[in-house]
Amino acid sequence: MMWDSALFLSTLTPKFYVALTGTSSLISGLILIFEWWYFRKYGTSFIEQVSLNHISPWIGGVEENGSNSSGSSSSVSPPNSVPECKVWRNPLNLFRGAEYQRFYWATNKEPLTYYDMNLSAQDHQTFFTCEADIGKAEYEIMQTAWRERNPIVRIKAARRAIELNSECAPAYILLAEEEATTITEAEKIFKQSLKVAEMNYKKSQQIQHQGSVLEAQHRRDTNVLIYIKRRLAMCARRLGKLKEAVKIFRDLTKEVPPIMNVLNIHENLIEALLEMQAYADVQAVLAKYDDISLPKSATICYTAALLKARLVADKFSADVASKRGLTAAEMSAVEAIHRAVEFNPHVPKYLLEIKPLILPPEHVLKRGDSEAIAYSFFHLQHWKNIEGALNLLHCTWEGTFRMLPYPLERGHLFYPYPTCTECADRELLPAFHEVSVYPKKELPFFIIFTAGLCSFTALLALLTHQYPEPMGMVAKSLLNWMSLPLYYIYEKVENFLPSNLLQQLSRI
């Protein structure tokens, strides 16, 4: 005999419905919490991972090449082909006293993180100290001064070092960077330190071959001299003395000491030339540094795109281009934009002012949000100076993502996008900034489904508790309505099959 749903439902009490929906809501809530935690930690849904990696192969088998459902395989990204996330010194870093400190006074927000400042302290110790400093009180003071967190303590230490030795160039650097509250003051101190650095450089140059210690001292004096010249050029750039800044930057690019590999002074030169609108000179610099064997940067890629966009941007129209197609020059500009966006996809939102800019950090992660901020902070005005350049970028930059459906697994012109950029950027950028993430992590379907199920069952439990009799009637009506197809199928089967066979089946 068939199960009688009406008899079963009549025996259920409202407490049963409350217990049922409450238990379901509790289980759904626990699943939701676990799913959300797993997604925040690993960037994917646990249920989805289990379905793709364990259930799907069991049901449908595994492809011959061992690739998963997203299309990735070992042939896409060879072992050790993706470079590690390396933090670089920002070539356009600001002055702590004259710029970062003034921002803090105006907003009461710390523009630099301790992680970023610690990296700078390590840089200063590496380039401005050496083993020849042992036993020299002023240089030993500076060795500890770079590591101090309190800026007041650092400044006092630098002043004490100068009192002990008026030729301690690293102490002048610290004062120019942190004590000077304007660029003019910083330039004045750097000019004073330049005389000291040149004198120390000439002295150590004459005795550098007399031992490894003296050779290290000369290397330190070379680093100090180059750093001071670069900061003087940046002061000139800030004060509008562009020709002076470009001359110093050009002279520095001819230097070959190891510190030059860290400073990337050619990016300072490119930015200053763009401010002068000397586009032919910018193209000449790019021809030297935009080489397949040299590391790329947002400045290199986006400046190349800007120069190509400059040739067509003023007459470009998206409507006209969609009807007649792109010309050869327009296609070249669009391809350059796609190349730049593939290298660093965070930049366009800052250039198009979709996302607000903040002061750039002292270190950047190539292809990361920190590099995008550092580039856009100074180069946004250069894009605005070229009529139609931002419009061309606006119309074309998102097309890059259609070419790269799986950017973490496959690249077009560059290596796949590194997965470590988000964590490093969060360390480099201040807490009040919303870090840009690529590719954007969307909530998996299972988290949304579990949240909906949890909310729905919780609502049922509440309604059943408040209105037990009406909810019981609603539940009976729904079950009766859902059982109608089963009754219909049973009646049809009963007409075709003999009754004794159905009785035997019901007994089983």
Are both 337 and 425 inside the same structural domain?
Answer: yes
Predicted model pTM: 0.72
Q: Which two tokens stand for residue 42?
A: 């690993």
Residue 390, number of CB atoms within 10 A of its CB:
18
Q: Is 130 found in the same domain as 92? A: yes
Half-sphere exposure of 282 (CA within 13 A, CB side): 24
Same domain (yes/no): 241, 296: no
Looking at the chain, the whole-number percentage of residues with pLDDT higher than 90 is: 50
Among residues 241, 273, 305, the one where a domain terminates is 273
Whether residue 22 is contained in a domain is answered as no
Q: Tell me if 452 is assigned to some domain.
A: no
Where a domain ends, among 273, 300, 334?
273
- 224-258 pLDDT per residue, tens: 999 999 999 999 999 999 999 999 999 999 888 88
447 assigned to some structural domain: no
One domain for residues 344 and 422? yes
Better-scored residue on pLDDT, 148 or 20: 148
Same domain, 341 and 423: yes
Residue 450 lies in a domain: no
Q: Look up residue 463 and give its two tokens.
A: 């309604």
Integer-rounded Cα radius of gyration of the chain: 33
Shared domain check, 312 and 269 = no
Does 397 reside within a domain? yes
* 266 and 382 assigned to the same domain: no
Q: Residue length, the chain?
A: 508
Q: Which domain holds residue 249?
A: 87-273
* Same domain, yes or no: 305 and 260: no
* Whole-number pLDDT of residue 336: 95
52 or 159: whose pLDDT is higher?
159
Tell me, yes or no, whether 269 and 344 share the same domain: no
Could you report the per-residue pLDDT of 163-211, keeping only the tens digit for each? 999 999 999 999 999 999 999 999 999 999 999 999 999 998 888 888 8
Any idea what the Cα angle at residue 125 is, between residues 124 and 128, rounded to 5°?
70
**227, 244, 273: which is the final residue of a domain?**
273
Q: Which residues pair with 87 in a beta bridge?
A: 365
| Distance in angstroms (rounded) separating the CA atoms of residues 327 and 316 | 10
Asked whether residue 304 falls in the same domain as residue 413, the answer is yes
Total domain count for the chain?
Answer: 2
Residue 396 domain flag: yes
pLDDT digits (tens, 9 = 90+) for 207-227: 888 888 889 999 999 999 999
Please say if the pLDDT value at position 271 is more than 90: yes
**Assigned domain for 378 exists:** yes
Phi, psi of 90 (to 5 degrees): -70, 115
Verify that 361 and 217 share a domain, yes or no. Answer: no
CATH of the domain at 210: 1.25.40.10
60 pLDDT higher than 60: no
Q: Is residue 416 part of a domain?
A: yes
